[in-house]
Amino acid sequence: MSFLNGATVGFDTADNKAVFIDQTLLPNEYKEISTDDYQEIFDAIKLLKVRGAPAIGVFTAIALAVLMNKSQSTIYDELFAELKEYCEKLILCRPTAVNLKWATEEMLRIAEKCNADNFKQNITNQAMKMIEYDIAICRKIGEYGAELLENCNSVLTHCNAGRLATVKYGTALSPVYVAKEQGHNIKVYADETRPLLQGARLTAFELCDAGIDTTVICDNMASFVMKNGLVDAVLVGCDRVALNGDTANKIGTSGVAILAKHYNIPFYVCMPFSTLDKNIKKGDDIVIEMRDGDEIGEMWYEKPMIPETAKTLNPAFDITDHSLITAFITEKGIITADEIKKYI
């Protein structure tokens, strides 16, 4: 029996366990993992078993509650110090996705108002609230997006910003799901998304599972489908948005945005406000996560696919300039980059 029942991450409060789908096994194996072990939690985020900015944020909140519920301490200062230490360690796992930082800040904010008696319960309640909050805002993004795409037959998406990247619904794929509920079937072209293949493995998996017409293309085919009039809009998610609208998302996103501009195709970023970094003015200030080069030449192949002496460069994200973004689809409505500041 599935504990998650259609969600991507969950909190088993009866057993005090953080629950997640191991996304590194998809699409060939579906496996839910239940844990209260710090190292397993750390590895789950670091190794992308749980990934996608909103899912990372909510999972972090659940994990912090699980870890604190296990604490032996009954003294407030000790509990707070323990929580802070976990936050400082977890935040290092993925430096670009701001939702990780957001979740740790939210938990510390709640902890500051607690005492020793209500500490664990309040932290647990906050994690549960963040699960519900994520579901609600993704649904809203889907509703606004479905309205915007009323006359759209097909979209292109990059990476996975679907239900597997959030608790439910997703951000970039939520409009497609809501449109389907309303009887409007939008086709999706999914970029495979080198090097970790989130588009091929995860986006295609969840869209096919939902009965959506899905076509996987290699990343270098986006220009072909755009030139041939096969896509009406681009929908992507985001990992951190600066105040001017510059957007960090999966490596390759900015190239897709440049192509979309060239072919006059609207390029929408689906952004929950939890992914806006109010402390960052422009994209240049966003730290880009650099990952192991083995992901490029070895991970998916039986034998290494690049010569031993060749170097690799593996930035996990890039920055799409705000001038390339037609609009942001948010839980508060559809807004332009210039309007972001009005909403904070």
**Residues labelled catalytic:** 239
Interface stretch with ligand MRU, choices 103-111, 163-171, 257-265, 332-340 (CB under 6 A): 163-171
User: Is residue 5 left, alpha or beta, with left meaning phi > 0 and alpha meaning psi from -120 to 50?
Assistant: left
E strands, 56-174, in order: 154-157
Map residues 301-340 to x or -, x wherever contact with ligand MRU holds by CB under 6 A.
Answer: ---------------x------------------------
Q: Which position among 8, 104, 154, 198 is part of the footprint of ligand MRU (CB under 6 A)?
A: 198
Examine residue 239 and tell whether it contacts ligand MRU (CB under 6 A).
yes
Task: Give the count of residues interacting with ligand MRU (CB under 6 A).
Answer: 19
Interface stretch with ligand MRU, choices 4-12, 125-133, 236-244, 298-306 (CB under 6 A): 236-244
Examine residue 54 and tell whether it contacts ligand MRU (CB under 6 A).
yes
Q: 122 or 171, CB closer to ligand MRU?
A: 171
Amino acid at site 46: K
Neighbours of 36 (CB within 10 A): 16
Examine residue 237 and tell whether it contacts ligand MRU (CB under 6 A).
yes
Examine residue 93 and tell whether it contacts ligand MRU (CB under 6 A).
no
Cβ contact 10:3 at 8 Å: yes
Q: 23 or 124, CB closer to ligand MRU?
A: 23
CB of 156 to ligand MRU, least distance (A): 13
Can you read off the two tokens belonging to residue 253? 């996103």
Farthest-apart Cα atoms in the chain, separation:
65
Examine residue 238 and tell whether it contacts ligand MRU (CB under 6 A).
yes
CB of 157 to ligand MRU, least distance (A): 9
CB of 257 to ligand MRU, least distance (A): 13
Examine residue 145 and tell whether it contacts ligand MRU (CB under 6 A).
no
Interface stretch with ligand MRU, choices 178-186, 221-229, 233-241, 329-337 (CB under 6 A): 233-241
Peptide bond into 27 cis (omega under 30): yes
The string of DSSP codes covering 250-310 is ETTHHHHHHHHHHTT--EEEE--GGGB-TT--SGGGSPPPB--THHHHTTTSSS-SS-TT-
Cβ contact 3:32 at 8 Å: yes
Alpha helices by DSSP H, 159-252: 174-181, 204-209, 222-227
CA nearest 68: which of 82, 88, 87? 82
Q: Which position among 7, 19, 123, 165 is part of the footprint of ligand MRU (CB under 6 A)?
A: 165
Can you read off the two tokens belonging to residue 299? 């991970």
Examine residue 57 and tell whether it contacts ligand MRU (CB under 6 A).
no
Cβ contact 267:328 at 8 Å: no
Can you read off the two tokens belonging to residue 57? 């944020």
Between CA 47 and CA 64 the distance in angstroms is: 18
Examine residue 194 and tell whether it contacts ligand MRU (CB under 6 A).
no
Examine residue 101 and tell whether it contacts ligand MRU (CB under 6 A).
no
Q: Which position among 124, 154, 249, 254 is part of the footprint of ligand MRU (CB under 6 A)?
A: 249
Binding site for ligand MRU (CB under 6 A): 48, 51-54, 97, 159, 161, 165-166, 170-171, 198, 237-239, 249-250, 316
